[in-house]
Structure 1
Amino acid sequence: MEIQKLNWAGLKLTSQNKTILIDAVEDYSYYKPVLGDAVENLIEFSDHVQADYILFTNMHLDHFDKGVIRKCLKKGGKLIVYKGLEAVVRKILGEVEIIVLDLNETFTENNITFKPAFAMDGVGEIQSSWIVDDGKTKIFHGGDTIWHNQFWKLGKENVNIDYAFLPVNGVVVNFEIIGLEYSPVPASLNLKEAFAAAHLLHARKLIPIHYGLFVHEKFYVPQVFDDQDLKDISEEVGQEYMILKDGAVLIESSNNRSEL
């Protein structure tokens, strides 16, 4: 499996000559009032990516980009949707072929298995995580989940996870502008929680996502950490990690593992 980190929480997976997008977003302009401007250049990928499968963890517009779906899903491609989001997705993308899966239900095609898993959204909306397994590499994508009590269960029921892609910015949000009262409790996993979740998932490595790109002093305040924090918490929790920067590619095979 080849794994490319896209913007924010986005991934592009390539396996069995098939391309898979997860939480792939190019256009963050809808959320500019609360996220602010991206602090780094965004990756533009939609002009040259044609996906066989597209997945997303939730309907927040920094995880769900209908423009990317319409542009990148190739003819005959499939949008794989968690059952809890089916109704709203059909209203938005009724013309797209949709595969609907309930939690822990699997869909296998081209020797690639897709499975939605429990997640908990920071503002009470519907969300799932995703597990993708091509028989050589298994990844867990946690969207922007908060801490919940199912990580133990998920780790027992989903063995041999190679990489857990988990949010780490522990962001405190003030979304009164859209009708949500302010809460000082983080709306996504913070760094220590992400390491602990990856440990409970028995993941070979944590790969942090959903951090560093957005900050808004009034509405979107993420946890700040550095390389030393990563090393210290990794040692404390006993969980290995690696940093995959936006645009970087990880090539994974049974005999060769390397980051490009």
Structure 2
Amino acid sequence: MEIQKLNWAGIKLTSQNKTILIDAVEDFSYYKPVLGDALEKLIVFSDEVQADYILFTHMHLDHFDKSIIEKCLKKDGKLIVYSGLEHFVRKYAENVEMIVLNLNETFTENNITFKPVYAMDGVGEVQSSWIVEDQETKIFHGGDTIWHNQFWKIGKENQHIDYAFLPVNGVVVNFEVIGLEYSPVPASLNLKEAFAAAHLLHAGKLVPVHYGLFAHEKFYVPQLFDDKDLKETSEKIGQAYFILKDGEVLIDS
């Protein structure tokens, strides 16, 4: 399996000559008032990527970009959707083949298996995590989940996860402008929680996502960390990690 890190939480998987996109986003402009400007140059991938399968963890527009469906999904491609999101997705995806799965239900095609598992969104909206595996590699993608009590169970029921893509920015959001009361509690995993979650998932390596690209001093305040923090947290929890920068490719075989 070949894995490319895209913008923010997005990844592109290539396996069995098939291309899979998870939480792939190019256009963050709708959230600019609360996220601010991107702090690094965004990757434009839609000009060259044609996907056989597109997945997303939830409907926040920094994880769900309907234009990617229009630009990147092949004519015979499939959206693979957690059933809790089906009625939302159908509003944006007409005349597209959709595979709808309940939590812990699997769909296998071309020797690639897809499985949505439990996740918890930081502001109470519907979300799932995804497990995708081929004959060599198994990955877990956690969207922007917060800490929850199912990591133990998921780890026991889904053995041999090679890479856990988990948010690490532990962001505190102030979205009163859209009607949500302010809370000082982080709306995504922080660094320590992500390492602990990867450990409970028995993942070979944590791959941090959902950090570094956006910050807003009033509305979107991430917890900052550096290489020293990564190393110290890894050693303390006993969980290996791998940094994959936007645009970089990891080939696992």
What TM-score comes out, normalization by structure 2 length?
1.00
1:118 positional shift:
0.2
CA deviation after TM superposition for structure 1 residue 167, in Å: 0.1
Listed one character per residue, the Cα deviations across residues 88-130 of structure 1 (whole Å, up to 9, x for unaligned) are 1112212211100000000000000000000000000000000
Residues in 2 aligned to 1:101 and 1:94: alpha-carbon distance in whole angstroms? 18
Count of matched residue pairs = 253
Which amino acid in the other structure matches residue 172 of structure 2? V
> Which residue is equivalent to 2:175?
175
* Residue 149 of structure 2 is aligned to residue 143 of structure 1: no
> What residue is the counterpart of 2:58 in the other structure?
58
Q: Secondary structure at the match of 2:90?
A: helix
Over the aligned positions, Cα root-mean-square deviation in angstroms equals 0.4
Residue identity matched to 1:222: P
Whether 1:4 aligns to 2:4 is yes
Report the Cα offset of residue 70 of structure 1: 1.0
Q: Deviations over 1:64-101 (max 9, x none)?
A: 00001111000100000000000011122122111000
Equivalents in 2 of 1:134, 1:191: separation in Å? 28
Determine the C-alpha separation between the residues in 2 that align with 1:250 and 1:71.
24
**Runs of 4 or more above 6 Å deviation:** none
2:207 equivalent to 1:207:
yes
Q: Secondary structure in 1 aligned to 2:244?
A: coil
Partner residue, 1:34: 34
The gaps in structure 1 that reach 5 residues or longer are 254-260
The equivalent of 2:74 in structure 1 is: 74
Letter in 1 for 2:109: E
Residue of structure 1 equivalent to 2:18? 18
How far apart are 1:232 and its partner, in Å? 0.2
Structure 2 residue 102 is the aligned partner of structure 1 residue 102: yes
Alignment partner, residue 159 of structure 1: 159
| 1:248 matches 2:238 | no
Mapped to 2, the partners of 1:236 and 1:251 lie a distance apart of 28
5+ residue gaps, structure 2: none
Partners of 1:71 and 1:231 lie apart in 2 by: 39
- Please give the alpha-carbon distance, in whole angstroms, between the structure 1 residues aligned to 2:33 and 2:97: 33
Give me the TM-score of the superposition, normalised by structure 1. Answer: 0.97
Counterparts of 1:13 and 1:54, CA distance in 2: 10
